[in-house]
Structure 1
Amino acid sequence: MARRERCSGCGLYLMVPPEAQTIRCAVCQAITNTITPFTSNARPNGHWIYVHDSFLGPGRTSYPGSGTYGIPYVYAPHQRPPQPRPPLSFVSVHGRKRALLCGVNYQSKSYRLGGSINDVKCMRYLLVEKLGFPNDSILMLTEEETDPFKIPTKQNIRKALRWLVYGCQSGDSLVFHFSGHGTRQIDYNHDEVDGYDEALCPLDHETEGNIIDDEINDTIVRPLPRGATLLAIIDACYSGTVLDLPYVCRMNKEGFYIWEDQRNPLFYKGTSGGIAICFSACDDNQNSADTTAFTGNNTRTGAMTFSFIQAVQNEPGLTYGRLLNAMSNAIRDVKAGLRLTGPIAALINKVLFGTTQEPQLSTSEKFDIYSKQLVL
């Protein structure tokens, strides 16, 4: 009869076949010895490597398109001994406010970005200096970090997402900011309206795969308790519904909006009573810009991140509707200013600006965007 064992790496429960001596975790790839009784190294819950994901539970199957489609978290028995794993560094779980900031420049790659790390540095400044987030409540993953467990790899981002919501209670305010590449891929479990899963690209996505919207929703949206708030700011291509939230705000250029209901009766994508809100750089079929146009010098930033920070700083107490309008107008104004004139202008402008970028708002519940204030 199958039994439950904790993964020696990430702490998830694994369902272990009776004949198994060791087992590999499909999330963190750690190999756990199932013969010797497991001795937990768990430290106080401020140590995010040991966060227990009780909401994932035993028997969870892996996410389609995440590299292990259709394979349960428990793999076939392995006979080689468990591999030692270095201890992870810690980030404290700080109470009422907590933020995870991920910036990926993909340095040395042909598709490298120049502004993602700048984006998360600016976001950290906004949260700490303007919005009262304590320094030790923020976990930042970038390629510049010296701690190997704060590099934005797929495994580290997954663990950081679990840290973000661990122990979350009513009154908590959580922020998830990602700046980097996004993509879309075929939806294998048929929960998407457009037939595609949206995904974030970690630093090692070429070998480890992407982090798809189904997993992001399961990890940081579903566990959100009543009275808690999650705000996600996703500056990436194809990111419109990357949290898989049920309602998408469709707004025209005049500011009129309707809520588009994307719920599927076969899949619950809401919270456990809290509210999740996501600002995305663009719609699911659009690209987002990494540009120097906003800074006036050679410093690159994401268009969406810069316009978000600018609007929040310039207008304290603004509503979600006012913020969405301000971001959209800022990006339109910059693009209009960059457009070229001259004999070949039409051709060049079509190449450079043929794809529009319209920031998107999606939520776990509908509300009046012109009366509800942004509160962090």
Structure 2
Amino acid sequence: MIFRFIILCALLLFIEFYSYQAFRTLIKTRWILIGYQVISLLVLIFIIYSFSQVDRSVGQTRQFMFTTGLMLTVYVPKILLTLIMFSEDIFRIGASIVNYFIYNTPRKEMMPDRRKFVSQLALGLAAIPFLSIIYGIFEGKYNFKVIKQTVFFPDLPDAFDGFKITQISDVHSGSFDNPEKINYAIDLINEQESDLILFTGDIVNTHAKEMHPWLETFSRIKDYKYGKFAVLGNHDYGEYVTWPSEKEKDENFKAIKNLYGQIGFKLMLNEHTYIQKGDDKIALIGVENWGVNFKKAGDLNKASENVHKDDFKVLMSHDPSHWDAEIKDHPKNFHLTFAGHTHGMQFGIEIPGYFKWSLAQYIYKQWAGLYENVGRYVYVNRGFGFHAYPGRVGIMPEITVIELKKGQNVG
């Protein structure tokens, strides 16, 4: 523990030293430089103090999210500054070696001075994540997007050709702070002309009471002709805090499961049902959370017991790592899986139809959007809410509408 603390302190000093070099190269006014150092020190002390006060029995709080946002706002730009300024120092050291051994330059003159334009470039580039993170906190986290996708299946029952499914995921109601924006999002959900709505877990961060102020709001989600169904996410189990007793944890879990019913959703706990339309039907299967690195409560075989291999199947499973680990090659052939969980890390770059990048892709093979494996698909929703970092940059909150079509996927 002490060794980790020493490493962390050394890393922070390294970052502070190099980010300061960028300012010192451009700014010569002494009181401004002193002010920068004082403010940097105060911010660092506040961040360390705030994180040291985190109460494991409470979980995520407003102060925790504020501190996380502040840390990212300050240190992501400083890390970028450090990378650029440190790279310049490597160049300067290399140049000094060449000057000394090849050109016999006197020692006092062999090290090139820092170049002003490098500091200007560093500060200009650092301004991009700085402004983006601030935007994400004040605007991005509620910049809801409706993403529509058509998926073709040659064995889709005829009656379900054109069947539309709305998906929401990762609500994290304990993070909300703007009723007007959430009501706007509910209106967006209700505007979609879908046949069925699915909610793929994480209704809260930890405690059932987080959802109480929002029950009336989410109860406004309209009734769908073919139903409203949900599964649990990893946060719904209340496992990220320390509980006074196992009884209180169990009571909270029971209350969280009841929340889904209170907003009109049928919670599926390793079970299935059939959606009947005309003379045709599809199987809807819902498993509890199953993740490679998270709680494994889901039981796919139990949930699909008595479901025939030839039935058309729609599956809800919160964590997309489940698809890669168990679902995509399962002998029962699950046609379309709905997942969430990743949030797209709430930070990335996305140009719809052309390019998307996030740190999430280095953790999850399937992290946002539609993925396919020999005619079987998983759709990973980018999440409705936010967690830890109180914002979104590039990867916006999502309401998904999937249309099922009979036929071959072209391209």
- TM-score (norm: length of structure 2): 0.25
Higher-Rg member (1/2): 2
Of structures 1 and 2, the one scoring higher in RCO (CA 8 A, sep 6+) is 2
